[in-house]
């Protein structure tokens, strides 16, 4: 048996006087990862500022008073580091992994870029076409179009309606000063978690982080940020998009609970596993193997801070959509009508447990999971108690949580234009 202690292995957790959370965990693997999580994402934007969080993430790599344009990248490459960042609806994070002797140099570069980005006006204009290119690239990606459109049609209003990248129009209209103001009001100590995972002395690492980030101010009293979670859901919406693709991509969206409804979140995590994780899962077995309606199927709900979506994604031949939709609804609603068996529950728990356990093999696997849940909830409790609570979720709890599937789903189909040029061998 895997001991719980291996998921909750020794670590240091500390909140600095400025409100910054620091988490350090030692893994003797010769490399170390610094992963800085900022609790802001596209959910913190309005229509006009849509895309600012993601654009800002790019701008942080462009330099500080100490590191000119290109120098941060040069420094990280010099020390053999691999780094990147990601922006989502609820968060932004920046991560670098280096051989352990270079921990301090990596920390120096990352902490400087997080706190002292210049957001230089010339670099800002130079980066804008890069962002527009990223938007164009996504518009050519069937998976990207599918999920973005599903969020867009599923909410009439609310924090998750908009795309993380923004639109061509919103990104074209953003000003450098708007971005800088957003930066200063969201990149505050109380809105950040710094994780360090890998081959280092955790106590010394926490001391170094305290020194590097100790001067970062918390948010001033009375600061107001967007993202109150209020949303107006749509139901029964349908959207068909034509792209130059050979396969059809389809999505069904249902309501999903916010992270603070932990019991429902865990029950739906188990439901998602029962439905589509592995070849013995229900949707895979019924839709793909027995009825041969789809070529691939996924189900799940990326847990968000506020109420969001549970979705079922499929790839299939266009002509099979009506039947696949009907069969998929039957399968997911059956879980609401009848609790899963104990054997199915045990299998789902083991798949989730092992998935979490395998993810701890890499530093970024650990920092991503811990950072994600801490950023959404503000504490370690959700992560620390996840497996234990999972063990307490009953089959009836799963069935009750699956009542969300009774709602009329929103649906999006990305279908071929009607003959894809040059798709032969």
Partner 1 sequence: MSSDTRTQAPIVSALPSGMRVVMRPETANEIVSVLVFFPVPGAIERTEEAGLVQFTAAMMVRGTTSRTHAELAEAIDGLGISLTCSAADDYSLASLDCTSDTLEESLALLAEVILSPSFEPEEIEKERQSTLAAIRRRDDDRLAFAVRHMMQDLYAGHSYGLPRLGHAETVAEFTRDQILTVHGELLDAPRMLAVCLGHFEPSRMESRLAELFSGITGRGGEALQVAQPGPPRPGRRTLERPGEQAVLAAGWRACGLADPAGPAVRLLNAVAGEGMNSRLFQRLREQQGLAYATGSYVHLLVQGGHIVAHIGTRPDAREQALEGLLGIFAQLRRERVPREELDRARNYVTGKYLIDHQSNHRRAFYLGHYEMTGLGLAADEDFPERLARVTADDVLAAAEQFLGDATVAEVLPPE
Site residues for partner 1, 248-287, by CB under 8 A, read 277-281, 285
Count of residues near partner 1 by CB under 8 A: 78
With binding defined as CB under 8 A, does residue 291 bind partner 1? no
Pick the binder of partner 1 from 22, 216, 245, 324 (CB under 8 A).
245
Q: How far is the CB of 122 from partner 1 (least distance, A)?
A: 11
Listed ranges 26-34, 110-118, 155-163, 173-181: which one lies at the site for partner 1 (CB under 8 A): 26-34
Query: Are 160 and 304 within 8 A, CB to CB?
Result: yes
Long-range contacts of 225-230 (CB under 8 A, 24+ apart): 225/40, 225/44, 225/185, 225/186, 226/43, 226/44, 226/45, 226/46, 226/159, 227/43, 227/44, 227/159, 227/305, 227/306, 228/159, 229/158, 229/159, 229/258, 229/305, 229/306, 229/307, 230/157, 230/158
**Binding test (CB under 8 A) with partner 1, winner from 65, 220, 222, 421:** 421
Q: What residues have CB less than 8 Å from 77, skipping those under 6 apart? A: none
Q: Is 203 in the site for partner 1 (CB under 8 A)?
A: no
Choosing from 8, 18, 88, 127, the residue that interacts with partner 1 (CB under 8 A) is 127
Q: Which is nearer to partner 1, 232 or 421 (CB)?
A: 421
CA 304 to chain centre: 8
**For partner 1, the closer CB: 228 or 423:** 423
Task: Determine if 4 is a binding residue for partner 1 (CB under 8 A).
Answer: no
Q: What is the dihedral of CA 125, 127, 128, 132, to 10 degrees?
A: 160
Segment lying near partner 1 (by CB under 8 A), choices 36-44, 75-83, 171-179, 182-190: 75-83
Comparison of 2 and 230: residue with beta carbon closer to partner 1: 2
Q: What ranges in 2-102 are assigned the alpha helix state H?
A: 4-7, 52-60, 71-78
> Cβ closer to partner 1: 289 or 406?
289
Q: Does 11 bind partner 1 (CB under 8 A)?
A: no
Element (H, E) at 200: none
Smallest gap from residue 220 Cβ to partner 1 (A): 34
Within 131-150, the residues that bind partner 1 by CB under 8 A are: 131-134, 136-137, 139-142
Binding window for partner 1 (CB under 8 A); candidates: 127-135, 200-208, 212-220, 374-382: 127-135
Query: Which tokens hold the place of 12?
Result: 């240091």
Contact status: 152 vs partner 1 (CB under 8 A): no
Name the nearest CA neighbour of 290 among 299, 298, 279.
279
**Per-residue binder mask for partner 1 (CB under 8 A), 35-64, x = binder:** --------------------------x---
Q: CB nearer to partner 1: give 49 or 96.
A: 96
Q: In the complex, what is the shortest distance from the CB of residue 27 to partner 1, in angstroms, rounded to a whole number?
A: 8
> In the complex, what is the shortest distance from the CB of residue 44 to partner 1, in angstroms, rounded to a whole number?
23
Q: What order of strands is seen across the sheet that includes strand 308-316? A: 238-243, 410-416, 248-256, 308-316, 296-300
Q: For residues 24 and 256, which CB has a smaller minimum distance to partner 1 in the complex?
A: 24
323 binds partner 1 (CB under 8 A): no
Angle at 393 between CA 366 and CA 400, to 5 degrees: 120
- Least separation in angstroms between CB 4 and partner 1: 12
Site track for partner 1 across 340-369, x = CB under 8 A: -------x--xx-xxx-xx-xxxx------
Residue ranges of alpha helices (H) inside 155-225 are 168-173, 176-186, 202-213
Q: Are 285 and 333 in contact, with CB atoms under 8 Å apart?
A: no
Bridge-based pairing of strands 238-243 and 410-416 is parallel
Of 218-237, binders to partner 1 (CB under 8 A) are none
């Amino acid at each position: 048996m895997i001991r719980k202690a291996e998921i909750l292995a020794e670590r240091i957790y500390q909140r600095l006087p400025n409100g910054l959370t620091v988490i350090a965990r030692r893994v003797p693997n010769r490399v170390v990862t610094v992963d800085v999580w900022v609790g802001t994402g596209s959910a913190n934007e309005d229509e006009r500022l849509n895309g600012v969080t993601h654009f800002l993430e790019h701008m942080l790599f462009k330099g500080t008073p100490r590191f000119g344009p290109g120098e941060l990248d040069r420094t990280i490459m010099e020390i053999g580091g691999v780094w990147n960042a990601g922006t989502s609806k609820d968060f932004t994070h920046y991560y670098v992994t280096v051989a352990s002797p270079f921990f301090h140099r990596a920390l120096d570069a990352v902490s400087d870029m997080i706190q002292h980005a210049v957001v230089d006006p010339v670099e800002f204009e130079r980066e804008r076409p890069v962002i527009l290119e990223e938007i164009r690239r996504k518009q050519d990606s069937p998976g990207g179009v599918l999920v973005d459109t599903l969020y867009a049609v599923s909410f009439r209003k609310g924090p998750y309606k908009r795309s993380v990248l923004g639109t061509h129009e919103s990104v074209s209209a953003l000003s450098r000063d708007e971005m800088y103001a957003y930066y200063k009001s969201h990149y505050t100590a109380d809105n950040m978690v710094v994780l360090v995972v890998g081959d280092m002395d955790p106590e010394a690492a926490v001391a170094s982080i305290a020194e590097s980030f100790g001067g970062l101010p918390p948010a001033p009293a009375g600061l107001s940020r967007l993202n109150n979670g209020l949303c107006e859901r749509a139901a029964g919406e349908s959207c068909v998009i034509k792209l130059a693709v050979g396969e059809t991509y389809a999505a069904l969206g249902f309501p999903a609970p916010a992270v603070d409804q932990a019991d429902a979140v865990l029950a739906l995590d188990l439901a998602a596993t029962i439905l589509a994780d592995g070849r013995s899962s229900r949707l895979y077995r019924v839709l793909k193997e027995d009825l041969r309606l789809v070529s691939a199927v996924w189900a799940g709900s990326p847990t968000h801070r506020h109420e969001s979506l549970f979705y079922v994604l499929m790839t299939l031949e266009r002509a099979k959509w009506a039947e696949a939709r009907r069969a998929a609804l039957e399968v997911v609603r059956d879980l609401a009508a009848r609790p899963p068996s104990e054997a199915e529950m045990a299998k789902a728990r083991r798949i989730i447990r092992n998935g979490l356990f395998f993810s701890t093999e890499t530093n970024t696997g650990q920092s991503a999971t811990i950072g994600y849940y801490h950023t959404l909830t503000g504490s370690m409790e959700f992560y620390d108690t996840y497996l234990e609570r999972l063990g307490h979720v009953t089959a009836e709890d799963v069935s009750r949580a699956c009542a969300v599937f009774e709602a009329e789903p929103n649906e999006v189909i990305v279908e071929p234009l009607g003959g894809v040029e040059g798709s032969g061998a």
